[in-house]
Chain A
């Protein structure tokens, strides 16, 4: 494979409930520090959620913030941080050759709910619907606001993929680089979901919303007493480049994207299926030309629902056996489920393992569910291992979408 066909990650910009940049996020993950807390939601009151604390005014004027969406603002923050981290000078590159590909679980609910609430104050008279409503709720908004803010004129769009969105943003960026449609891809995912009541209420109606007297213990994948999802906001954008270009400017390499796959269960609106997930991981391994034993770390999707977690564990067992050569962890236990951002954030939080060889822990496992037990599941404390060569990131979503991304330690 030539250097033009190899895609590397050269920058990371993120905001998570427990960190506003990769350094802070990674430190808290390694130390098992949760960012989950109580968050007040209209009609629902205090709900357990992951809330970000980055300063949006770092890259936006107050008027931009007022006009745009939370998802757009989060994308802007993450893209700026990623570009700065990659040490890219946007004034010296062709901005028409930069593409923005943002994975989302959904978009528009936050502002739709706000508008309906707003007009409810005026006896539901629709003349009080804001003229800002349409540009806020169009599906490309979270990517489009970045172009306005940064003056980027290449392609921009979102990838609607339920909770696999973050992986799809990265995959789309890789594909657009391979097709030579762009020279720099900003790919990842964002979520503003916690600012609407709908997702919380619907998860609750499904019997899938986490509850616990201590918010930091509410999200507990693989624990016997897990009882549902903690919904979070967040964002993570990767700077992706062809290796040839990254080498030419002596860029820092976080890793090389060597394989990915997306498939569908075609079975159920909500319930995941281990068969489809196993096929997806197998397809990604084949795409990367790897065998299961090559993978050092699996960053699981598991969300902490009673039904979902064992499906992924069954799929992992089907592909990797008992994982004697592969360590397993989960990030949602510390940040909740950041929906469209989840896959990108969770991959980013694991990438420093290539250098420090530390696998961050899965916290809140007090009583390990036997169906989720693996010898190499990293529980409650970080684990230092000999080396990390490949990280596999799973992300699955409603309507049976599965995605897997494999990143390799950069070797030149």
Chain B
């Protein structure tokens, strides 16, 4: 997957988890939780979706790396390059 495909995938997953939110203006370099109503259970939904869809395990110590859209893409790019 390319970086832009990964970004689109993350946005699609977040859209599924937060169906009431408008994600069209989500900024890539600002914490996602500061832009939309997302709590820790929602965040765990992202982790679960990555596990279910792509078999990707994100260890707890890396959770902070998914804080912004940009950092999430950077973190996932090498892990999803083969997909």
Cβ A130 vs Cβ B52 within 8 A:
no
- Residue-by-residue, is B18-61 near A (CB-CB < 8 Å gives 1, otherwise 0)? 11100000000000000001000110110010011000000000
Q: How far is the CA of A100 from the CA of B49 in the complex (A)?
A: 35
Cβ of A43 within 8 Å of any chain B Cβ, yes or no, is no
Cβ A128 vs Cβ B52 within 8 A:
yes
Given contacts A67-B41, A131-B44, A132-B41, contact A61 B51 (CB under 8 A): no
**Closest beta carbon of chain A to B29's beta carbon, Å:** 25
Q: How far is the CA of A61 from the CA of B18 in the complex (A)?
A: 10
Q: How far is the CA of A122 from the CA of B51 in the complex (A)?
A: 10
Cβ B41 vs Cβ A62 within 8 A:
no
State which residues 58-104 of A face B: CB under 8 Å.
61-63, 66-67
User: Which secondary structure dominates where chain A touches chain B?
Assistant: helix
Cβ A122 vs Cβ B52 within 8 A:
yes
Cβ of A127 within 8 Å of any chain B Cβ, yes or no, is yes
Q: How far is the CA of A127 from the CA of B18 in the complex (A)?
A: 23
**Closest beta carbon of chain B to A58's beta carbon, Å:** 14
Cβ A61 vs Cβ B48 within 8 A:
no
Q: How far is the CA of A130 from the CA of B45 in the complex (A)?
A: 8
Residues on the A chain within 8 Å of B17, using CB: 63, 66
Residues on the B chain within 8 Å of A128, using CB: 48, 51-52
Residues on the B chain within 8 Å of A132, using CB: 41
Total number of B residues with any Cβ neighbor in A under 8 Å: 12
Q: How far is the CA of A62 from the CA of B20 in the complex (A)?
A: 6
Q: How far is the CA of A66 from the CA of B20 in the complex (A)?
A: 11
Cβ B18 vs Cβ A63 within 8 A:
yes
Which residue of chain A has its CB nearest to the CB of B16?
A66
**Closest beta carbon of chain B to A30's beta carbon, Å:** 39
- Residue-by-residue, is A111-149 near B (CB-CB < 8 Å gives 1, otherwise 0)? 000000000001000011011100000000000000000
Residues on the B chain within 8 Å of A131, using CB: 41, 44-45, 48
Cβ A130 vs Cβ B20 within 8 A:
no
Q: How far is the CA of A384 from the CA of B32 in the complex (A)?
A: 63
Which residue of chain B has its CB nearest to the CB of A62?
B19
Residues on the A chain within 8 Å of B41, using CB: 67, 131-132
Q: How far is the CA of A61 from the CA of B37 in the complex (A)?
A: 12
Residues on the A chain within 8 Å of B45, using CB: 131
Q: How far is the CA of A128 from the CA of B52 in the complex (A)?
A: 7
Cβ B19 vs Cβ A66 within 8 A:
yes
**Closest beta carbon of chain B to A135's beta carbon, Å:** 8
Cβ B51 vs Cβ A63 within 8 A:
no
Residues on the B chain within 8 Å of A61, using CB: 20
Q: Which A residues lie at the B interface, using CB under 8 A?
A: 61-63, 66-67, 122, 127-128, 130-132
The 3 lowest CB-CB distance pairs between A and B, nearest first, are A62-B19, A131-B44, A61-B20
Q: Which B residues lie at the A interface, using CB under 8 A?
A: 17-20, 37, 41-42, 44-45, 48, 51-52
Given contacts A63-B20, A63-B37, A132-B41, 13 further A-B contacts (CB under 8 A): A61-B20, A62-B20, A63-B17, A63-B18, A63-B42, A66-B17, A67-B41, A122-B52, A127-B51, A128-B48, A128-B51, A130-B48, A131-B41
Can you list 20 A-B pairs with a CB-CB distance of less than 8 A? A61-B20, A62-B20, A63-B17, A63-B18, A63-B19, A63-B20, A63-B37, A63-B42, A66-B17, A66-B19, A67-B41, A122-B52, A127-B51, A128-B51, A128-B52, A131-B41, A131-B44, A131-B45, A131-B48, A132-B41
